[in-house]
Structure 1
Amino acid sequence: MHAIRLHAFGPAENLTYEKTDDPVPGPGQVRIAVAAAGVHLLDTALREGFQGPLPALPELPTIPGREVAGTVEALGEGTDPAWLGKRVVAHLGTVPGGYAELAVTDAARLHAIPEGLDPAAAVAMIGTGRTAMGILQFTALGPDSVVLVPAAAGGIGTLLVQYARHAGATVIGLAGGPAKAAAVAANGADLAVDYNAPDWPERVREFLGDRHATVVFDSVGGEPGRAAVDLLGPGGQHLVFGWSSGGVHEGGPLVFTEQELAERGITSRSVLGPPMLAKAGGGDNPVRVLETRALAEAAAGRLVPAVQRFPLAEAAAAHRALEGRATMGKVVLEP
């Protein structure tokens, strides 16, 4: 098979397209003919040699990627034969191997791809979608909600905008640059604003009149995150799931003290990792609960992920584009 391999940690150019041995499924596993592989920002950190939330860096050489969709074409010993020939999607967990024509994973990780959903969309929902479902657990959106999404052109932001619109909320989407702002408007935001424009907070205040934002879904942080929180009214929620422009809490480049937040009646909290999973419920596998919810939302047409596609051989270009904030939606590699 052909795959993307990393022989040394470092820049995107270290990702090379090579021919390598086909993986062999072990007991309880399947081999998937990959039609789409997800690219995550964490992949770029791992490529550089930063392990992030994972327990360890992968051994080199490695095939990156932890989200795949395709068709089951081989079974390991003891695997249910009903999986053979099925269209499936899976998050590989901490085990990489997704940037390839073939990938192996445990059958317990598989979800059947819903009818009518293409593999790239399924890949977006198994990773990005499950994260969005987790974030949304922490707030109840409705017609009285005023939602502000600072990274509204990204994979998660696109889904948050759609979900909030379906809930009847007023949605303000921020994005970096006119093209991204236009995409946010096309996605259904009531107001789409380029946060590179210095007067964007005034534009939002003018749009809202005597209202305030009730929820900020923040993965940007930094100056845009700080300005977004300033648009929250009393009782507002600041839900943090990233900080691509720098931190906004104590210890970050911009500081919100607990006293400042308390005086304004604003709740600010991180909603990733164990807190998100603990709230998901569903017994001993809350991750699967969120994955199932995400795929169901896509199958029903309530959530339509934005996807930016690259050929598998151009994984390095995909990483550069993602790191340079030149992408919109979920980045997907297609063999």
Structure 2
Amino acid sequence: MHAIRLYEFGPAENLRYEEVPDPKPGPGQVRIAVKAAGVHLLDTALQAGRGDLLPFPLPELPVTPGREVAGVVDQVGEGVDESWLGRRVVTHLGLVNAGYAELALREVEALFPVPDALTYEAAVAMVGTGRTALSIHHIAQVEPDDVVLVTAAAGGVGTLLVQAARNAGATVVGVAGGPAKVERVRASGAHIAADYDEPGWSKTVREALDGRDVTAVLDGVGGAAGREALEMLGMGGRILLFGWSAGSLTEITGQDLVNRMLSATVALGPRMMRVPGGLRAMQEKALDEAASGRLVPAVQAFPLREAARAHTALLERRTVGKVILLP
């Protein structure tokens, strides 16, 4: 099979498309012929060797990145019912577990059937990014009287957060970089969409809100845009951090919190683990929401052999929605 291999931390060009031995499923495992593999911002941090941005230690090299895949079961290991053969499945592989490949292994209890209504690309988007978005939405406790500002609102998580907040009855402000992305934010259902690459974007949003304060910021971009979004929160507002696509986290001080009685939460890791039913329940819910049409993930696909180009585009914030690799 072909897979992406990383032998040295550094630029995206270090991701190599190579032929490697086919993996064999062990006891309790299945092998998946991969139809779509997800790309995550953490994969780019791993590629670069940015251990400061990872929630786990840097692995020993060489390694094949990849956290989520969808495809067809083509082999089963010892103890696995053969009825799994030929089934369309999707799964989250773990933190660094060889998803950028034509074949992947996973324990059978970690699989989800792909609903007939979903493509493999949509299933991959929902099993990882979808569960993250729904977990953030749950932690944020979005209510109909909220004014929710979503940064990186054209990204994989941001697109779903805009839809989930709109479905909850909140007024939704979505901000993204560049006119094309702003149009995608509007198409996702944001009541107000703005370009945070334009000077004075927050003033434009304030005018559109006509005196209403932002009550919740869901921040996936960080940097200057995240800080400007923080400044828009009214008294008693809340900010939830879930990413840093700008390259750095939003700067928040204790004084910021005290002056306006704000709350700040990192809506990742342990907080996600404590959502009702845990992550598996959120994965099931995410797939159900997409199959029903209540949430529609946006995806942008690249060939597997062009994983380096996909990473570069993601890092340069030139992608829209969830980035997918197609073997």
Range of TM-score over shorter length: over 0.9
2:276 corresponds to which letter in structure 1? G
CA distance in 2, matches of 1:263, 1:6: 46
Partner in structure 2 of residue 290 of structure 1:
282
Structure-2 change in CA distance of 1:20 and 1:260 (3 Å): closer
Structure 1 residue 266 and structure 2 residue 268: aligned? no
Structure 1 residue 57 and structure 2 residue 53: aligned? no
Contact 2:245 2:317 in 1 (8 A): no
Partner in structure 2 of residue 281 of structure 1:
276
Q: TM-score, normalising length from structure 1?
A: 0.93
Partner in structure 2 of residue 306 of structure 1:
298
Structure-2 change in CA distance of 1:8 and 1:261 (3 Å): closer
Look up the SS of the partner of 2:141 in the other structure. coil
Structure-2 change in CA distance of 1:257 and 1:316 (3 Å): closer
1:214 corresponds to which letter in structure 2? T
Contact 2:90 2:113 in 1 (8 A): yes
| 234-243 vs 318-327, greater mean Cα deviation | 234-243
CA distance in 1, matches of 2:229, 2:137: 18
Stretches of 4+ moved more than 6 A in 1? none
Contact 2:36 2:326 in 1 (8 A): yes
- 1:95 Cα shift? 4.3
2:220 corresponds to which letter in structure 1? S
1:281 corresponds to which letter in structure 2? P
Partner in structure 1 of residue 9 of structure 2:
9
Alignment of 1:1-335 (within 5 A): 1-51=1-51, 52-245=53-246, 246-249=248-251, 256-278=252-274, 280-282=275-277, 286-335=278-327
Q: TM-score, normalising length from structure 2?
A: 0.95
**Sequence identity of aligned pairs in percent?**
58
Give CA deviations for 1:24-68 in whole Å, capped at 9, x if unaligned: 000000000100000111111111223444543333332221210
- 1:266 Cα shift? 1.6
CA distance in 1, matches of 2:48, 2:229: 31
Structure-2 change in CA distance of 1:55 and 1:199 (3 Å): closer
1:191 corresponds to which letter in structure 2? I
Structure 1 gaps of 5+ residues are 250-255
CA distance in 2, matches of 1:191, 1:173: 6
1:247 corresponds to which letter in structure 2? L
2:98 corresponds to which letter in structure 1? G
* Matched residues, number: 325
Partner in structure 2 of residue 252 of structure 1:
none
CA distance in 2, matches of 1:118, 1:247: 33
Give CA deviations for 1:202-227 in whole Å, capped at 9, x if unaligned: 11111111211111101222221122
Look up the SS of the partner of 1:242 in the other structure. coil
Structure 2 gaps of 5+ residues are none
Name the Cα RMSD after superposition.
1.5
CA distance in 2, matches of 1:293, 1:203: 35
